[in-house]
Structure 1
Amino acid sequence: MTVSSSGRGGTVTDPDRVGSLLPSDREDVVDLVAEVSRVTGSVAVVGADTVHDHRSARRALDLVWDDILSTMSASPAVTAHAVDLLRRVKAVDEALLRRDIATRNQLFGRVREALSALSEIQSTAALVATVPGVVCALGFDRAFISRVEESVWTPEHVVVERDPAWAGEILSIGRENPLTLTAALPESEILRRRVSLVVENVQQREGVHKPIAAVSLSRSYAASPIVTGGEVVGFLHCDCYYQQRDLDETDRQVLATFAEGLGQVLARTLVLDQVGAVRSGLDEIAARLHPSGFGGSMGAALGAPTMPATPAVPTSRPAPEPGFGRRTGAPVPIAKADLTRRELEVLRHMAAGDTNARTARRLVISEGTVKSHVKHILRKLGASNRAEAVSLWWQMQDRTGGASA
């Protein structure tokens, strides 16, 4: 995990962070709150220790503004000092707003740069391992990426900027407690509506992932769906634990924009993974159908460098790594897959290289029926595609000496 330094305590003040408050701005707000309290004779509307980011600072300014107006409405005379305080509150608030806008523009520029860098990654596994660190670079302290499969939410990779050991604990707890998404969870709404959310009061809420909430000590977090091919395949979560601030609308927008771009990048790496898997499967099929060599493998036909002619040896496709858009279970041996007689016939034609249309003609059934059988075959075998199913067929032929299934 790409994290630095250590320690769970302490706070971080970084002007480049999302919503961070400059020390000079904080002093201006705290001084105004104290002065308004003296002028109005009321208890300070907020404590100095609660002004720690732009959101809390602007909330404090709203409260003192209302306090001044309330005092002025109750008094027959409007003092020059009160008017001056209103002007100062307005000036500080507008300065914070301008900085908010500038920071937001800067952040979305960072999102574009981050997505551009991710587009260079060529595999899904590498992408998943990289993403949480990139999210932290956008201004968050902690981030993790999860996969969603059949409504089960499982963390894949966690980064805690200042504590890699803590990241490991959070990941371990998350993997030991994969959570089925129920209506009470905010993530269920994210899955259903495909929207990003900010979740507050995490430690007090019932509808959260309790084991992760307990080990992470998170106060508030933002979460976004990762969508590829029109389907939610995972989540991104982040928070600002060390900055000790609640996340706000800017945080949500930043994460949502990044997650949207990530979905597009992920879709491309998934295609690359699948092309690699299919190519491996095609090489194996070619080797089986043409044991004398066939002038090189199917890989050569697809543009790979040709090798000296040697007896063709079937190559095994590497087992796909669990993750987004992939089946996580191991393929099921054909003998244990409970295939029907017709499904075995269709699989036999698949292994012979027949198309769906040709299989339909040979078995005197419709092409739609063949497609339905192929779908059932892939599901029962736990195969990701036709090439993997055919590979399992040839493995069975090896074990049975070529006898019919």
Structure 2
Amino acid sequence: MRPGPEGQEEWTAYALAHPPAIDPRDPEIELLRRHSAVLVPDNRVSRGVGDISRAAHSTGYVGAPVMMRGNVTGTLFADRTFSAQTVDTVTRDVVGLFTEGLSYALERTLLLDRMRDQIGKIKEIMAAADMTLEDMYAAGMSIRRDAVTGDIDIVGLGPVMPSDDAYRLMGLLTRREIEVIELMSQGASNAGIARELVVAESTATSHVKHILRKLRSANRAQAVASYLHLQALAKN
């Protein structure tokens, strides 16, 4: 076959029309068994790949396995036809080293794809858990951590504050937001609020932002001051 793109197209067409069928006696069997590169200096000993090799006017070739998770998922064959040289152990080792690196790259890509999938699933689970916790709270239940034992319990919610306070504040803040701002008034950070209420820190951060907006406060200190002021008015 001719060198260059035309010859490559001609050889590809031939290879597609004559797919190799490896014979149990072919040298490629050792490649599959031992997971290592093989040297075939005389392609007449191969009944499968040898047919394609001879169609390309090659006298010999080397083959190496592409490995994924300990299994052969592909093979790479090479010859030196266009350089008019014969294959040797150096050719075999170079091709073997190349396919080893290719295998590592493919394995890493596969692992990264699986990791991205797992991260996506974990995020979905966390989002669903947050929604469930919010639904529980809206139904009158709450998950709290015991300050002494550290145990987590589901408890029913009593009145968050006296009813006269609720008249003034519940129109502005939800019961969960009142619980959050109570913790804010004690100096709790977003991480501390999340830990106390057993929610994601992003959820606690979202509650704080809503509180600041509803109380028209520029920062946490102003929000707490406004909250305490409304409490004082409710008691008078």
- TM-score, normalising length: structure 1: 0.27
Higher helix share: 2
Q: Which gives a bigger RCO, structure 1 or 2 (Cα 8 Å, sep 6+)?
A: 1
- TM-score, normalising length: structure 2: 0.45
